[in-house]
Structure 1
Amino acid sequence: MYLKTLHLKQFRNYRDCIVDFDAPKTILVGNNAQGKSNLLEAVELLSTLKSHRSVRDRDLVLEEAAVGQIRANLERAYGSIDLDLTLRTQGRRTVALNREALRRQLDFLGILNAVQFSSLDLELVRGAPERRRNWLDSLLIQLEPIYAYILQQYNQVLRQRNALLKKYRVGAAEGKLEESSRELYSELALWDVQLATTGSRVTRRRARVLERLAPLAAAWHASISGATEVLDVTYAPNIRAEKDDPEEVQKAFLDKIQQRRIPEQSQGTTLVGPHRDEVELTINQTPARSYGSQGQQRTLVLALKLAELKLIEEVVGEPPLLLLDDVLAELDLNRQNQLLDAIQDRFQTLITTTHLGAFDSQWLNSSQILSVHAGQISSF
């Protein structure tokens, strides 16, 4: 796939800007806070309908404007596609495909596939488990857009069940539990079943995608590190079943809920389910977060990102876009060359930087170079 045109209107600090991409690699150069990362964020939104930088649409719209818009023309193997995302400071966002409004945002997902690599991705190694779960979920949404709906279902059930457990805890604290305990237990049993049903769908899909990603990441890591280190990427689910079978996983789910019933009621929150899963990253059998230097951690993250590119290409049948947000300067020459060799001209790549000194002539000669200043983009 190839992103041909991007049109940003009242998005972040862009008032009205059109960019035509005419090379496999585009380098966006400019000082900090000029809009380089905002452009990559726009592409990320078209890909996943999410931003890793903001959860509120009103933060994405140009100050003093009510509506922002991201438009793109994308070339896929099966033809040209127009993508349209409208963001509002008040009210719901809307999406359109080939100028036709879509009723379900789910139908917008999986059209533009992209892998982003920024300095924030070091948190994949040293951050909280939630960071790794979010990363895995974002990948899954690109591979199986229906997963966005499955995850939404699970989170809705989780919120409802947590509200009930909180109600139970408050009632116990106030000595009013006896009046409604039977009703609460009956309602909780219904939410238990729904949690097990929706949660097992999340757990099984996460396990399957990591089974495919792990060997790809290990191979890249061996290549970048000169085969001196062994990377293991392992799924550590909160629910463990003997085999990958829906009924087995649901049964394991319900069994663990029973085991954790008293702690859940006393804490007023759900302690069982994929919202407590972990993705374990180890190098030479040592947890990566406590292993080695930042350089070694960057090698690990680079291996994960290259594995993402490869997996998406295998599943989708076309190479995704690669978004590199100010990371090349943090990679030494060996890692830069590994990245360059991996992407070549097969993956369209958008790169941000504050200066061109970090690039060797091979990068510069094969790239379109654009200057970004105060929400305006021009040829360098």
Structure 2
Amino acid sequence: MYLKTLHLRQFRNYLDQQVDFSAPKTILVGANAQGKSNLLEAVELLATLRSHRVSRDRDLVQEGATTAQITAVLEREPGCIDLALRLRSSGRRTISLNQQTLGRHLDFLGTLNAVQFSCLDLELVRGSPERRRTWLDMLLVQLEPIYAHILQQYNQILRQRNALLKGLLATSASSDFPPDTPSELGFWDAQLATAGARVIRRRARVIERLAPLAHTWHQQISGSTETLEVRYLPNVGQEDDDPESVQQAFLAKLQQRAIAEQHQGITLVGPHRDEVELIINQTPARQYGSQGQQRTLVLALKLAELNLIEAIVGETPLLLLDDVLAELDPHRQNQLLSTIQDRFQTLITTTHLSSFDNGWLDSSQILTVQAGQIHS
């Protein structure tokens, strides 16, 4: 797939800016806080309908405006596709494909596939389990758009069960719940286990396919001196692909933690507490990995993502590199740049061009970004 044009209106610091991409590699160069990352964020929104930087749409709309719009023309094997996303300060969105407004997000997701790599991704290793779960979920949304609905359904059930537990905790004068509590909790237990099993099974499957790819890349980048393992650790202790087995394990774990949940007023069991374990040479990378090892690990994960999306979707995704070369030493820079070549359409931001050799510069489109204005 190839992104031909991107048009931003009242998005972040862009008033009205169109970019026509004319080469497989586009280098966006400029000082910090000029809008380079904002452009990549717009592409990320078209791919996942989410930003890894903010959670509220009003933070994406230009100050003083009520709406922002991102439109693009994407070339895929069947032909060109027009994408449009209108954001509102109120939070209500409008999405469309080929000028047709869509009622469901999952009909839009999967149209454009992209892998983003920024300095914030180092939190994949040293950050909280939630950071790794979010990374895994965003990959799954691109590979299987229905997963967005599955995850939303699970989170809605989780909120309702938490509200019940919290309400019962607040109103109960003793450690025992009212007589009708077991039946009401039992209903939400069954709902949570059914929806949660769907999340767990998909997470397990994608890690099973991603892990060997990441292992191979990590060996190549580290010169075979290190071994990377990526493990999925479901909170319910069961990652079998059989839905009945996962549901039964889920329900059994809920029973084990029932008393603790009643005292804390919150759900302690389920995929919202899963972990993705990253291990280098049998040592947890989060605790003991050096900065160099952590950078190598994240680079291997990102290259594995590219390979996995290409294998499943059948077309190469876009690669978004947000000021990441500054975080990599020359060896890792060369590994990344030599892997890209012209295989993936790449948008890369940088404050200077010294990291690129003449061959890269000659074959790239170079755009200067200054205060929300983009110039050739």
Cα contact 1:168–1:177 (8 A) shared by 2 = no
1:136 Cα deviation from its structure 2 partner: 0.2
2:168 corresponds to which residue? 168
1:307 corresponds to which residue? 304
1:364 equivalent in alignment to 2:353 = no
1:58 corresponds to which residue? 58
Distance in 2 between the 1:365 and 1:253 partners? 56
Residues 253 and 65 of structure 1, relative CA distance in 2, 3 Å threshold: same
1:232 equivalent in alignment to 2:229 = yes
Deviation readout 1:9-44 (Å, 9 max, x if unpaired):
000000000000001110001111110000000000
After TM superposition, the structure 1 = structure 2 runs for residues 101-116 of structure 1, keeping only pairs within 5 Å, are 101-116=101-116
Distance in 1 between the 2:304 and 2:289 partners? 21
AA paired with 1:337? N
Distance in 2 between the 1:242 and 1:88 partners? 40
Distance in 2 between the 1:76 and 1:29 partners? 27
1:265 equivalent in alignment to 2:269 = no
Q: Provide the alpha-carbon RMSD of the alignment.
A: 1.2
SS at match of 2:297: helix
Residues 338 and 193 of structure 1, relative CA distance in 2, 3 Å threshold: same
Deviation readout 1:127-166 (Å, 9 max, x if unpaired):
0000000000000000000000000000000000000111
> 1:212 aligned to 186, 190, 209, which one?
209
Cα contact 1:164–1:184 (8 A) shared by 2 = no
Cα contact 2:56–2:91 (8 A) shared by 1 = no
After TM superposition, the structure 1 = structure 2 runs for residues 1-380 of structure 1, keeping only pairs within 5 Å, are 1-172=1-172, 174-175=173-174, 181-241=178-238, 243-379=240-376
Normalising by structure 2, report the TM-score: 0.98
Residues 44 and 11 of structure 1, relative CA distance in 2, 3 Å threshold: same
1:63 Cα deviation from its structure 2 partner: 0.5
Distance in 1 between the 2:234 and 2:180 partners? 31
Cα contact 1:171–1:177 (8 A) shared by 2 = no
1:357 Cα deviation from its structure 2 partner: 1.6
AA paired with 2:85? L
Cα contact 2:8–2:70 (8 A) shared by 1 = yes
Cα contact 1:31–1:373 (8 A) shared by 2 = yes
Cα contact 1:320–1:348 (8 A) shared by 2 = yes
Distance in 2 between the 1:242 and 1:322 partners? 30
Cα contact 1:234–1:281 (8 A) shared by 2 = yes
SS at match of 2:125: helix
Distance in 2 between the 1:176 and 1:297 partners? 46
Normalising by structure 1, report the TM-score: 0.97
After alignment, is 82-91 or 353-362 more displaced?
353-362
AA paired with 1:16? D
Cα contact 2:58–2:91 (8 A) shared by 1 = no
After alignment, is 338-347 or 365-374 more displaced?
338-347
Distance in 2 between the 1:323 and 1:351 partners? 6
AA paired with 1:345? D
AA paired with 1:35? G
Residues 126 and 176 of structure 1, relative CA distance in 2, 3 Å threshold: closer
SS at match of 2:223: coil
Name structure 1 gaps, 5 residues minimum.
none
Distance in 1 between the 2:91 and 2:318 partners? 30
1:175 Cα deviation from its structure 2 partner: 4.7
SS at match of 1:255: helix
SS at match of 2:180: helix
**What is the aligned-residue identity percentage?**
73
Distance in 2 between the 1:64 and 1:284 partners? 52
Distance in 2 between the 1:24 and 1:223 partners? 25
Cα contact 2:12–2:60 (8 A) shared by 1 = yes
Cα contact 2:13–2:371 (8 A) shared by 1 = yes
AA paired with 1:333? P
Name structure 2 gaps, 5 residues minimum.
none
